[in-house]
Structure 1
Amino acid sequence: MQINIQKLQSISQRVRDNKLFEWLVVSVILLSALLIGARTYVIPGSIITLMHWLDAGITLLFLFEIVVRFFATEQKKYFFRSGWNIFDTLVVVVSLIPIEHSELALIGRLVRIFRVLRMVSIIPELRTLLNSLLRAMPQLGYVVLLMFIIFYIYGAIGATFFAHINAQLWGDISISMLTLFRVMTFEDWTDVMYETMAVYPFSWMFYLSFIFLTTFAFLNMVIGIVVNVLEDEHAREKQAQDKIDGKATLDDIMLELRSLRSEVAQLKSNQGKSN
């Protein structure tokens, strides 16, 4: 029995690591996305029937892929510790439930839409990018808070000095902040600037200083935070994958080194006592 399980695990690992199988799953996810888009059009009944069978086949292939990944994992208890594995399994399980013609049909459609997100869990690079963004959120939150303060200050200044020039753009602080967002994204911002420069010739300093603070300074801060977190995430992903595959991780190596040092120190101590 043990030999059969090991053989099944070995076969599953070969299938999982096969590039052809990976590209097949990616292609099926893309096909699933196209089917979701096709359902938004008015199509003949015969095509709808074909799409229904295709959808069933896609769900079965996804189930097969989840099973392969589960059996390919050496330490099964770590499989469901991954949020992506839980997400993939839930999506597939809910897709298998026949709720298309029931009151829960809307949930079924939403689950099929979220199947496109499986592209992230299949492609490690996309998974690493998304995990990095999520981990960077706490640090980015402070950047966003500081940016809001800058927006608020400049919005109050704009509403104070430019409201009589164009109330639609600078009528109050909330509208002023929306106008500043337009300036930050360079959406016809020169038209806004030239309109106020007709009354206040030096108002260009207001816009240029705002653009420097938000578009240049804050953008570089965001890029720096994301790059640092991305590097950390690459290291964490590698360590987690090594742990799942049963390989020695950096923590294991460090622990073994400490143990070896302790043993060497003990041997030296014993040798000193014997002398």
Structure 2
Amino acid sequence: MNTHQNRFSVQSKVSALIESRLFQSFITTVIVLNAISIGLETYAFFKPYQKVFFIVDCLFLTIFVIELSLKLFVQKQHFFKNNWNVFDFVIVAGSLILYNTNFVSVLRIFRVLRVLRTITSVPSLRRIVNALFMAIPTISSVIILMSIIFYVYAVIGTMFFSAIAPEYFGNLQLSLLTLFQTFTLESWASGIFRPIFAESGWSWLYFVSFIIIATFIMINLIVGEIVNNAQKISQEIEDETGELKEDTKEIKELRAEVKELKALLETYITQNEKKD
């Protein structure tokens, strides 16, 4: 019985440790420093310090292993129900298993993605990411619609402009690549549109209509959906905060009533004692 109680006590202490703000800040700092160290290794003038970077990398990896071990000790089977925990486990376990192979350099780069975990510690970033995830179904529908638009315009462009600009519209693949460049608005006027417009006067209708539909309307649909979801999340937070404020107000009122009742009881008892 005492052994079970001691184990439960240790587990509670470890749980309090890993959930504390200080521990979370420490891990976040280590993740950021790890990302910075991996980035610094890409510079040539840091090559003489490879041994130092190796020791630092081992230190970071040890900290990550300790963190995961503590979480596994506390959360047990519930550990893998959290997607961030699964992500951390795959990256760290892969780094340990493949440490002496050629794949470890790739995994070490993927460990930079652990910086994404800082999202969970910043409420505003977490709200934006949640809004983005909520918008995924709508974004998927918009992407499908954009794919259809790209295909239709690619076919039209190949049919009408393949002879004028074969380097841009010579076949369907080139047309799709050209439309993607136009979609990004990168040198589309001087590089693509002007030479074709000199040969075909109506080509402006083709390019302008594509930019309006694909770039302006579709992108605004995606941005609008994300903004709407962010507003919904903010509204839900405000509603929850309002409910908490109401509950706090009711608790204060109940405390005031209890104090009044206590005062009345004390007065009543004092009066009875005087009568006796």
Q: TM-score, normalised by structure 2?
A: 0.68
1:196 aligns with 2:192: no
Letter of the 1:159 counterpart: T
How far residue 26 of structure 1 moved from its aligned partner, in angstroms, is 2.0
- For 1:8 and 1:92, how far apart are their aligned partners in 2? 25
Deviation string, structure 1 residues 202-241 (Cα, Å, up to 9, x no partner): 3322222111110122112223444566688999xxxxxx
Deviation string, structure 1 residues 153-194 (Cα, Å, up to 9, x no partner): 212222222233222122222212211111111111222223
Match of 1:108 in 2: 104
Q: Is the 8 A contact 1:128 1:230 kept in 2?
A: yes
- For 1:14 and 1:165, how far apart are their aligned partners in 2? 70
- Out of 14, 17, 23, the residue aligned to residue 16 of structure 2 is 14
- For 2:231 and 2:66, how far apart are their aligned partners in 1? 33
How far residue 133 of structure 1 moved from its aligned partner, in angstroms, is 5.2
Distance 1:44 1:225, change over 3 A: closer
Letter of the 1:164 counterpart: A
Q: Is the 8 A contact 1:162 1:170 kept in 2?
A: yes
The answer for unaligned runs of 5 or more in structure 1 is 236-275
Deviation string, structure 1 residues 99-124 (Cα, Å, up to 9, x no partner): 544xxx12322322222222223531
Match of 1:92 in 2: 92
- For 1:36 and 1:216, how far apart are their aligned partners in 2? 38
- For 1:44 and 1:34, how far apart are their aligned partners in 2? 13
Q: Is the 8 A contact 2:91 2:110 kept in 1?
A: yes
Distance 1:14 1:35, change over 3 A: same
Match of 2:214 in 1: 214
1:123 aligns with 2:119: yes
Match of 1:268 in 2: none
Percent identity over paired residues: 33
Distance 1:57 1:26, change over 3 A: same
Q: For structure 1, which segment, 18-27 or 125-134, has the greater mean C-alpha deviation from structure 2 after superposition? A: 125-134
Match of 2:140 in 1: 141
Bigger relative contact order (CA 8 A; separation at least 6): 1
Q: Is the 8 A contact 1:121 1:127 kept in 2?
A: no
How far residue 79 of structure 1 moved from its aligned partner, in angstroms, is 1.8
Match of 1:35 in 2: 37
Query: 1:183-262 alignment to 2 at 5 Å?
Result: 183-191=182-190, 192-227=192-227
| Larger Cα-atom Rg | 2
- For 2:66 and 2:127, how far apart are their aligned partners in 1? 24
Higher helix share: 2
The answer for unaligned runs of 5 or more in structure 2 is 236-276
- For 2:153 and 2:48, how far apart are their aligned partners in 1? 59
Q: Is the 8 A contact 2:183 2:211 kept in 1?
A: yes
Letter of the 2:210 counterpart: F
Q: Is the 8 A contact 2:161 2:196 kept in 1?
A: yes
| RMSD (Å), alpha carbons | 3.4
Give the secondary-structure state (helix, strand or coil) at the position aligned to 2:202.
helix
Deviation string, structure 1 residues 9-51 (Cα, Å, up to 9, x no partner): 4433433343332232222222222333344455788722222
- For 1:45 and 1:62, how far apart are their aligned partners in 2? 25
